[in-house]
Structure 1
Amino acid sequence: MPAMSAFPADASRTRTLEGVLWMLASGLSFVAVTGIVRYLGTDIPAAQGAFLRFAFGVLFLLPTLIPVLRGGFPPGALKVYSLRGLVHTFAVICWFYAMARIPVAEVTAIGYLNPVLVTLGAALFFAERLALRRVLAVAVALVGALIVLRPGLRELSSGHLSQLGAASFFAVSYLLARRLSDVAGAGAIVAMLSLTVTVGLLPFALLVWVPVGATQLLWLALVAVFATLGHYCMTRAFAAAPLTVTQPVTFLQLVWATLLGALAFGERIDPFVLLGGGIIISAITYITWRESVLKRRASASIAKDALG
């Protein structure tokens, strides 16, 4: 009997380890994205670099995109797709601009504000209840952001402000994706995002277009590859293990980014960035854990009512 009961626990541990490994792979993929964009620097304008990255992404997603376009859209979905594409366009321009101008670790740490801003946005626009615990967790995350930025103690550059803008725009984009998830599948949402952002970036890219070499195109193609791989690994991680397990692993992305910046670009390791990033991800992990607990309680209550 003990041997039989041990099997599910072993299987559960295996799935948990699988989720952690997928999330590790996702983090490394996204650090590769930031490293390549940092390496390309300011030689290619932010809008043009972002456009080329997403154009390559559209090529990779054509097998998914073509059936979506042929099948048509639910009522109102095209408007939301377009709005999300516009918002995401500004987000990636801001991100590419910041990535070429401030240390990799700082871009990564400020980017951790995304889930916090999504939590606030869900309360504002979707009337989701913001309990006191979540308010406190958001406040703690904002303290972490202040530790990273240290306004008043040092000069904030245009890169810092741009990355704050990127985090805000990305949060709005994710909220719109949540709305789309009610009427479309994940594959369609990702494919349409690549298409609408590519179209949205085109006029901005044309305004600042500079000649691009074959080597630079290859690097930007690799950015698209690693970005796609990162999202794929993240999806596999979410399927294999609970968010409460995989979310803390994302903090390692800041560690990898710090090491990359120090070893590849000679950037100084800033303990305040690591501390602030750690505080932000701790707050995000707490929010994730609380939501998981509440969902389990709700599921148990529904099951009890069904039996009773």
Structure 2
Amino acid sequence: MAVTTVPLQTNTLKAVLWMMGALASFTTMALAGRELTQEMSVFQALSFRSIICVAVLTGIAAFRRFEGIRTERIGLHLARNTVHFAGQFGWVYGLSLLPLAAVFSIEFTVPIWTAILAAMFLGEPFTRWRMIAVAMGFVGILIVVRPGAAMLDVAAFAVLGAAMAYAATYVFTRHMASTERPFAIVFWMNLIQLPLGLIPALTMWVTPSPENYIWIAAIGLGGLCSHWCVAHAMRHADAAVVAPMDFIRLPIIAVIGYLFYAEPWNPYVLIGGVLIFSGNMINLWGERRRR
């Protein structure tokens, strides 16, 4: 039986609205990670995120009569989500120590590492556009962390490692997409990561203060809503339209860091972030032109 493909309709306004939801979710997650790690370990903060996500996703799966979550590739799910959890740990750890804008700038290197890993393990072509993006990304990283400056510390390397881990996760997802449904990937991601965070968290458990309950809810629901919003934005507009909106996260988080945490305005972080993001956009437009 032939499969009918329905073309997606372009609606830039809807894409913008969905991306606004994604930006709000990513920013909320960052603030929640910063606030929670002032009181508890990174493991405990991540375990709260997984508990909320698993509860919500299990409810959705039950409503669907658990259709679409069966898998015969549990080994790949375990590998993918162990790497992703390491990325989550590095990202939240960086949030607890680095300026928020610096974390977001370094995170923008994810597409660069994805291009490198996809060429190595999936046989995707390493085109000149990708080479330009990689070169600009490395220069941008050097500008952000500035070897010899105070920014070059363990936390900066943790966030850089998180970006690499996220890139590896995307490569796993591309490899699994032919057999695994998106809901199954997200469901197993949160279910597998729950014990990875909860077991070490129990050894250093801290009873959350009442004022942190809102941040516990924020880190869980923000994690679900962010990817949900991005997926819907991509349904209504091309990636070349959606991707530039993601960069708005950097000035927004820089302003929030300045207003609420007295983080100084660092022009090097903004310049490096612009360079990294520009490399990503050159790669995106170049690949579209090549195809």
Using the size of structure 2 for normalisation, the TM-score is 0.90
1:70 shift after superposition: 6.6
The corresponding residue for 2:4 is none
Partner of residue 278 from structure 2, selected from 268, 282, 297? 282
Q: Alpha carbons of 1:285 and 1:201: their partners in 2 closer, same or farther (altered >3 Å)?
A: same
SS, match of residue 269 in structure 1: coil
Contact 2:19 2:229 in 1 (8 A): yes
- Distance (whole Å) between structure 2 residues aligned to residue 261 and residue 85 of structure 1: 30
Contact 1:19 1:240 in 2 (8 A): yes
**Residues 144-159 of structure 1 mapped to structure 2, 5 A cutoff:** 144-154=140-150, 156-159=152-155
Contact 1:57 1:228 in 2 (8 A): yes
* Cα shift readout 1:6-43 (whole Å, capped 9, x = no counterpart): xxxxx85xx12321232232112201111122223431
Aligned: 1:202 with 2:226:
no
Partner AA of 2:235 in structure 1 = A
Aligned: 1:19 with 2:54:
no
Partner of residue 137 from structure 1, selected from 110, 130, 133? 133
- Distance (whole Å) between structure 2 residues aligned to residue 99 and residue 54 of structure 1: 18
The corresponding residue for 1:94 is 90
The corresponding residue for 2:172 is 176
The corresponding residue for 2:219 is 223
- Distance (whole Å) between structure 2 residues aligned to residue 97 and residue 141 of structure 1: 22
1:282 shift after superposition: 0.9
SS, match of residue 97 in structure 2: coil
1:71 shift after superposition: 6.1
- Distance (whole Å) between structure 2 residues aligned to residue 294 and residue 64 of structure 1: 40
1:65 shift after superposition: 4.2
Moved runs in structure 1, 4+ residues, more than 4 A?
A: 65-72
* Cα shift readout 1:158-190 (whole Å, capped 9, x = no counterpart): 221211121111111121111121101111111
What percent of counterpart residues are identical?
28
- Distance (whole Å) between structure 2 residues aligned to residue 123 and residue 149 of structure 1: 26
The corresponding residue for 1:191 is 187
- Distance (whole Å) between structure 1 residues aligned to residue 270 and residue 65 of structure 2: 42
Aligned: 1:37 with 2:53:
no
Aligned: 1:211 with 2:210:
no
Q: Alpha carbons of 1:28 and 1:71: their partners in 2 closer, same or farther (altered >3 Å)?
A: closer
Contact 2:52 2:220 in 1 (8 A): yes
The corresponding residue for 1:3 is none
Partner AA of 2:83 in structure 1 = V
Q: Alpha carbons of 1:226 and 1:72: their partners in 2 closer, same or farther (altered >3 Å)?
A: closer
* Cα shift readout 1:38-88 (whole Å, capped 9, x = no counterpart): 22343110111111111111111113445686766443x111111112111
1:213 shift after superposition: 2.9
The corresponding residue for 2:162 is 166
Contact 2:132 2:283 in 1 (8 A): no
Partner AA of 2:254 in structure 1 = T
Farther off after superposition, 208-217 or 64-73: 64-73
- Distance (whole Å) between structure 2 residues aligned to residue 68 and residue 205 of structure 1: 32
Q: Alpha carbons of 1:32 and 1:202: their partners in 2 closer, same or farther (altered >3 Å)?
A: same
The corresponding residue for 2:122 is 126
- Distance (whole Å) between structure 1 residues aligned to residue 120 and residue 214 of structure 2: 42
1:121 shift after superposition: 0.6
SS, match of residue 100 in structure 1: helix
Contact 1:32 1:226 in 2 (8 A): yes
The size of the alignment, in residue pairs, is 282
- Distance (whole Å) between structure 2 residues aligned to residue 94 and residue 204 of structure 1: 15
Gap regions ≥5 residues in structure 2: 1-8
The corresponding residue for 1:301 is none
SS, match of residue 208 in structure 1: coil
Gap regions ≥5 residues in structure 1: 1-10, 296-308
The corresponding residue for 2:287 is 291
Bigger-Rg structure (1/2)? 1
Using the size of structure 1 for normalisation, the TM-score is 0.86
The corresponding residue for 1:303 is none
The corresponding residue for 2:236 is 240
What RMSD, in angstroms, separates the aligned Cα atoms of the two structures? 1.9
1:149 shift after superposition: 0.8
SS, match of residue 263 in structure 2: coil
